[in-house]
Chain A
Amino acid sequence: MTSLYEEIPAAPPADVPTRRVTITVNGDRRTLDIEPRLLLSHLIRQGLQLTGTHMGCDTTGCGTCTVLLNGRPVKSCTVLAVQADGREVETVEGLSSAQQLHPLQEGFKQEHGLQCGYCTPGMMMAAKALLERNPNPTEDEVRWALSGNICRCTGYQNIVKAVLWAADKMREQEG
């Protein structure tokens, strides 16, 4: 059982109602008892200890918490964890194995698409969703697909290049 109250060594308080959900995270099926108001982002970060998903705001404004929910990018700070019941969640930790970088990760490195790295996981998850539906995007399409994700460091130019680099690489691998 996992809930935010796991932070307290003693049992979770009896007065807090919980709900049982089953969520598949990065291929790993988890059954959890959670507070209905728990945010998906908090479940991912604190409950599941997957700290690669970040939180930059609390108003769906920045996109750093972007994860894929059944393959679609969502801002996990404005999704309740109970809404993910019976669904699949993919986070940055699911992108690659330790040995093999995902082409997006490689692209971000090659094109210097990150500086502080705080927005990067969200950017890559949004980009992954784009490349899955559009393997050969234009620069403009990349810019619009990432328009819900803010970066303060890079000015975006190298992020766009990184996504186009990954698109090339993925098409090469497919072809």
Chain B
Amino acid sequence: MTETMDVTGSAIGRPLRRKEDARLLHGQTNWTDNIQLAGTLHMAVLRSPMAHAKIAHIDVSPALERPHVVAAFSAKELGELNGAVPCVWPVTDDIQMPPFHALAVDKVRHVGDCVAVVIANTKYAAADALDAIDVDYEPLPAVIDMEAALKQGSVAVHDAADGSLGTNRCYDFPLKPTGDGSFEAAVKAAGDDAVVVKRRFINQRIIAGFMEPRAVVASPMGMSNEMTVWSATQIPHVLRVLLALVTGLPENTLRIVAPDVGGGFGGKLQLYREEVLAVQIARHLGRTVKWVETRSEDMVSSHHGRDQIQDIQIAATKDGKLIGMKVDLLANMGAYLQIITPGIPLLGMFMFPAIYKMDAYEFSCTGVFTNTTPTDAIRGAGRPEATYAIERIMDELAAELGMDPLKLREMNWIKNTEFPYTTVAGLAYDSGNYEAATERALELFGYDELRAEQEQRRASGDPVQLGLGISTFTEMCGLAPSRTLGALKYVAGGWEHCTIRALPTGKIELITGTSPHGQGHETAWSQIASSILGVPVDDIEVVHGDTGRAPYGMDTYGSRSLAVGGQAIKKAAERLVEKARIIAAHQLECSPDDLDFIQGEFRVKGDPAKAQPLAAVAFEAFTAHNLPDGVEPTLQAEATVDPNDFSYPHGTHLAAMEVDVETGKVKIRKYVAVDDCGVQVNPLIVEGQVHGGLVCGIAQALYEGVEYDSDGNLLTASLADYLIPSAADLPSFITDRTETPSTTNPLGTKGIGEAGAIASTPAIINGIVDALRPMGVTDVKMPATPENVWRAIQAAQGGAQ
């Protein structure tokens, strides 16, 4: 397929090859680390080797003696420039929000905490001089385990002397309906018919693992008073506001550029300490300051994700009808609150009831401080944790009831005819077709044949057992209606912006507030605009990621870019056509109502030979020689759209897992993913997003997990110790789709960036547990390494003896 679009049909729905690729394939790129400005100074960060300690003494002056060192700072030297890094989601009125400075003041609270910086003429010189800094730490006991952290008498990560309450309890968020809506009342009402299953699931801590390390260049050498900041970030617009608030620099002098950004997965949805430091020091020295992290720094200082202890109860009648659910979470905040740390588990609050109908739902979450790297959003952010818990416990309930897990799900999910449906968690699901997605998945999977093989292997005592894992998931995406965010105490809005300009040379400039870092917005957004403007995809240039060129936006996270940003593109394009119509009517000497807009040109109804292409209208708007009265020159339109609601992609994922019961080794024999993300703008890109998401979720199930020792040392501190899977660790997936258009946005689209990551983790673990259930195994610790699987088997067998 060629990239050049004929304009006879809609560009939406075509698997166009990406416009982004040619440049990236030639290595013709602009990562933040590629930026080399004259006179740049390099920053290196001294990080705490201890999880919890008092800084008894610190002297940076010996570093100044080292060659090529220009400056060095600890919190003391930085003084008022040592800005406090904000959290914008105070989830409760009485949440503890301890101060979080860019450089640690008096105490360090996790391994990797920023203690001091050296500024030098070269990267090597800055790194070399770090060891000249003289620091005396007085070690304090570290608290790593959440339950230990909540015990009376536990050492406090932020103690009273730091102006905190001296407890590690960051917040308690209860959602406790009283009376008949309570879980207890519902179970009681069912009497002897109620079956309650209770489980504790551990959703382990993971890292984001973007391939491009974080990097920032802060340059006060811009035009006029401008401070230009290039950063490997997902959120240039949000960063601009926050950096202005933190540094006191006037927002109108800050220009933030996210150039080529090499992946984010939530890990670059952050205002990081190093960004604050680079800006403040650049401002102080009047020089450009650059910092690029090493992977070792990334592992201890880029935020981590997940890390919940989930106590779940689910109740059903004996014949399998769900009654209710009770969820009690402990959520690890780490040592400090970053941008939306406390809110992440609450995004999950809405998703525990998932696609199922029930009448009672209770939720509570306690945020806990520990001496670990702060946590925050990673691909899915709260929803993978919730989906893992509900899909796991549905399997446990099915086993308890002696039902087929698929039958149990089918019996309880919202039927296609029941949409729109308001769930017990209060979300109004607009659309969905769980039956269709499941039917298609079963076909592709060969469910009955695999069940038969499973029986055979069980009967013959095969050392390699087979298990079938199911995940019928949904998620909420498209963050978010601003009012909803306000009600949840989130400080920002959830709108998105687009400006479209028809330039006098016939080219289209599409300026979006979304900020891609691999998702293919340049191609997909061109397809949306092309379908409305009738202009070839190649004639549309998508501008993004630079607050100087794209001043308005809320950036890219939470599968929002298409679901929200797409609406702004559509609206702006339609407005542009309406303005052009008035000019065209004037040119063609007819009424605007007498014009059709077809294939990029205005045609007089009944006289199609009389026509004016959009490009000619744009040129007329540029010269402005003969515009109708009251019409301003230039042809552009903008739209800022606040979404009416979330959208709810869903799907059915099935995993056939082979488990060697002698060694604990597992293998994915077959994986089928049928996803429904509504209307697909570019199915090629959608499939790529699904693949990547799947592997992220599978990696959590099988390979990845952050480990600390009891002193708070990070044991998984390099990519040699933290296993991000490679091509050799994974199979090819069978993917397909159903298409149930969303009714919450005019394009009918739903997000797809996180779906795979949300769905796949429970499918894999359910498959492993299904294989081992006859041996008495009811859970396997993630990641399900051979060791963890083997231990689960041994523990179950020991119990049986």
Chain A contact residues, CB within 8 Å of chain B: 4-5, 7-9, 13, 15, 35, 37, 45-46, 50-62, 64, 91-93, 95-96, 98, 101, 105, 108-110, 112, 114-121, 124, 139, 142-144, 146-160
CA distance A98 to B729 in the complex (A): 35
B727 touches A160 (CB 8 A): yes
A57 touches B295 (CB 8 A): yes
Could you list 16 examples of A-B contacts with CB < 8 Å?
A4-B123, A51-B29, A52-B26, A54-B31, A56-B211, A60-B720, A116-B211, A116-B260, A118-B263, A139-B732, A144-B728, A146-B728, A152-B263, A152-B265, A152-B724, A155-B693
- Contacts A92-B26, A109-B21, A152-B265 given; does A115 touch B688 at CB 8 Å: yes
Candidates B209, B296, B693; contact of A59 at CB < 8 Å: B296
- Contacts A115-B688, A147-B728, A160-B732 given; does A101 touch B25 at CB 8 Å: yes
Closest residue of A by beta carbon distance from B40: A7
A154 touches B718 (CB 8 A): no
A59 touches B720 (CB 8 A): yes
B224 interface residue (CB < 8 Å to A):
no
Closest residue of B by beta carbon distance from A118: B262
Q: Smallest CB–CB gap between A27 and chain B, Å?
A: 16
CA distance A48 to B29 in the complex (A): 15
B27 touches A93 (CB 8 A): yes
CA distance A160 to B733 in the complex (A): 12
Q: Smallest CB–CB gap between A161 and chain B, Å?
A: 9
Q: Smallest CB–CB gap between A150 and chain B, Å?
A: 5
- Contacts A92-B27, A109-B17 given; does A155 touch B691 at CB 8 Å: yes
A57 touches B34 (CB 8 A): no
Which one, B303-311, B512-520, B538-546, is touching chain A? B512-520
CA distance A157 to B67 in the complex (A): 48
B321 interface residue (CB < 8 Å to A):
no
- Contacts A143-B728, A152-B724, A153-B518 given; does A116 touch B27 at CB 8 Å: no
Q: Smallest CB–CB gap between B436 and chain A, Å?
A: 24
B687 interface residue (CB < 8 Å to A):
yes
- Contacts A61-B719, A105-B26, A150-B726 given; does A115 touch B212 at CB 8 Å: no
Candidates A13, A108, A121, A157; contact of B732 at CB < 8 Å: A157
Closest residue of B by beta carbon distance from A102: B25
B20 touches A51 (CB 8 A): no
CA distance A116 to B68 in the complex (A): 35
A155 touches B733 (CB 8 A): yes
Closest residue of A by beta carbon distance from B20: A117
Chain B contact residues, CB within 8 Å of chain A: 17-18, 20-22, 24-29, 31, 33-34, 36, 38-40, 67-68, 121-124, 209-213, 260-263, 265, 294-296, 517-520, 684-685, 687-688, 691-696, 718-720, 724, 726-730, 732-733, 756
Which of B26, B31, B211 is the most central at the interface, judged by chain A CB atoms within 10 Å of its CB?
B211
Which of A59, A117, A146 is the most central at the interface, judged by chain B CB atoms within 10 Å of its CB?
A117
- Can you add 5 more A-B contacts, CB < 8 Å, to A144-B728, A152-B692, A157-B732? A57-B719, A61-B720, A112-B684, A152-B211, A156-B695
Please give, as numbers and ranges, the residues of chain B lying within 8 Å of A54 by CB-CB distance: 31, 211-212, 262
A146 touches B726 (CB 8 A): yes
CA distance A46 to B40 in the complex (A): 13
Closest residue of A by beta carbon distance from B24: A117
Please give, as numbers and ranges, the residues of chain B lying within 8 Å of A8 by CB-CB distance: 68, 121-122
Candidates B211, B694, B728; contact of A62 at CB < 8 Å: B211
CA distance A60 to B728 in the complex (A): 17
Please give, as numbers and ranges, the residues of chain A lying within 8 Å of B694 by CB-CB distance: 155
B720 touches A121 (CB 8 A): no
Q: Smallest CB–CB gap between A121 and chain B, Å?
A: 5
Q: Smallest CB–CB gap between B672 and chain A, Å?
A: 13
Please give, as numbers and ranges, the residues of chain B lying within 8 Å of A149 by CB-CB distance: 726-727
B733 touches A157 (CB 8 A): yes
Q: Smallest CB–CB gap between B702 and chain A, Å?
A: 13
Q: Smallest CB–CB gap between B765 and chain A, Å?
A: 18
Please give, as numbers and ranges, the residues of chain A lying within 8 Å of B732 by CB-CB distance: 139, 157, 160
Please give, as numbers and ranges, the residues of chain A lying within 8 Å of B34 by CB-CB distance: 45, 51
Closest residue of A by beta carbon distance from B35: A51
- Contacts A7-B36, A61-B718, A116-B517 given; does A153 touch B263 at CB 8 Å: yes
A50 touches B211 (CB 8 A): no
Closest residue of B by beta carbon distance from A15: B67
CA distance A156 to B67 in the complex (A): 45
Closest residue of B by beta carbon distance from A51: B34
Candidates B24, B294, B520, B685; contact of A120 at CB < 8 Å: B24
Please give, as numbers and ranges, the residues of chain A lying within 8 Å of B36 by CB-CB distance: 7, 46
Please give, as numbers and ranges, the residues of chain A lying within 8 Å of B18 by CB-CB distance: 109, 112
Closest residue of A by beta carbon distance from B260: A117
Q: Smallest CB–CB gap between A16 and chain B, Å?
A: 8
Please give, as numbers and ranges, the residues of chain A lying within 8 Å of B29 by CB-CB distance: 51-52, 117
Please give, as numbers and ranges, the residues of chain A lying within 8 Å of B38 by CB-CB distance: 9
B122 touches A154 (CB 8 A): no
- A-B residue pairs, 4 tightest by C-beta: A52-B27, A61-B719, A116-B518, A118-B262
Q: Smallest CB–CB gap between A63 and chain B, Å?
A: 8
B211 touches A151 (CB 8 A): yes
Which of B25, B38, B67, B692 is the most central at the interface, judged by chain A CB atoms within 10 Å of its CB?
B25
A115 touches B719 (CB 8 A): no
B262 touches A116 (CB 8 A): yes
Please give, as numbers and ranges, the residues of chain B lying within 8 Å of A142 by CB-CB distance: 727
- Contacts A109-B25, A147-B727 given; does A56 touch B213 at CB 8 Å: yes
A61 touches B263 (CB 8 A): no
Q: Smallest CB–CB gap between B17 and chain A, Å?
A: 5
A112 touches B295 (CB 8 A): no
CA distance A64 to B261 in the complex (A): 14
CA distance A19 to B39 in the complex (A): 25
Please give, as numbers and ranges, the residues of chain B lying within 8 Å of A55 by CB-CB distance: 33, 213
Please give, as numbers and ranges, the residues of chain A lying within 8 Å of B27 by CB-CB distance: 50-53, 91-93, 121
Please give, as numbers and ranges, the residues of chain B lying within 8 Å of A53 by CB-CB distance: 27
Q: Smallest CB–CB gap between A26 and chain B, Å?
A: 11
A13 touches B295 (CB 8 A): no
Which of B24, B40, B263 is the most central at the interface, judged by chain A CB atoms within 10 Å of its CB?
B24
Q: Smallest CB–CB gap between A33 and chain B, Å?
A: 15
Please give, as numbers and ranges, the residues of chain A lying within 8 Å of B17 by CB-CB distance: 109-110, 112
Which of B29, B687, B693 is the most central at the interface, judged by chain A CB atoms within 10 Å of its CB?
B29
B727 touches A158 (CB 8 A): no
Please give, as numbers and ranges, the residues of chain B lying within 8 Å of A120 by CB-CB distance: 24-25
B211 touches A154 (CB 8 A): no
Closest residue of B by beta carbon distance from A94: B27
- Contacts A4-B124, A8-B122 given; does A61 touch B695 at CB 8 Å: no
Candidates B33, B692, B729; contact of A153 at CB < 8 Å: B692
Please give, as numbers and ranges, the residues of chain A lying within 8 Å of B122 by CB-CB distance: 4-5, 7-8
Q: Smallest CB–CB gap between B207 and chain A, Å?
A: 10
CA distance A96 to B26 in the complex (A): 8
CA distance A15 to B718 in the complex (A): 33
CA distance A35 to B27 in the complex (A): 26
Q: Smallest CB–CB gap between B370 and chain A, Å?
A: 26
A115 touches B692 (CB 8 A): yes
